[in-house]
Amino acid sequence: MTDEVESLIRTRREEARTAVELLGVPPENLQFFQLPDGTLPARHVDLSQAIDVLCRRVMPRTVFAPFRYDQHADHLAVY
């Protein structure tokens, strides 16, 4: 993995941490699935299983997802 990619990963994670803090969500509720960026459409089964396991474990009342008309392929896969 290049330094640039690792830097982007760190930046995105920090942005997510900041967002949950601003929303008043406990930081322990933030989950990263460790799936490679740009691969989610092809890893639909892995993504679905990860979401299913997490939801069964924490039984959330609310789940936030990307906007359904987002143009990013990974965001659409998560939606």
DSSP string for residues in 11-32? HHHHHHHHHHHHHT--GGG---
Q: CB atoms < 10 A from the CB of 20, how many?
A: 16
What is the C-alpha to C-alpha distance for residues 39 and 77, in angstroms, rounded to an integer? 9
Q: Which pLDDT band, with edges at 50, 70 and 90, does 50 fall under?
A: very high
Place of tokens 């998560």: 78
Percent of the chain beyond pLDDT 70?
Answer: 100
What pLDDT shows up at residue 53? 95
pLDDT tens-digit map of 4-23? 988 988 999 999 999 999 99
Q: Which residue has the tokens 């092809």?
A: 42
Grade residue 38 by pLDDT with cuts at 50, 70 and 90: confident
What is the pLDDT averaged over residues 45-62?
A: 92
Q: Which tokens go with 48?
A: 């679905």
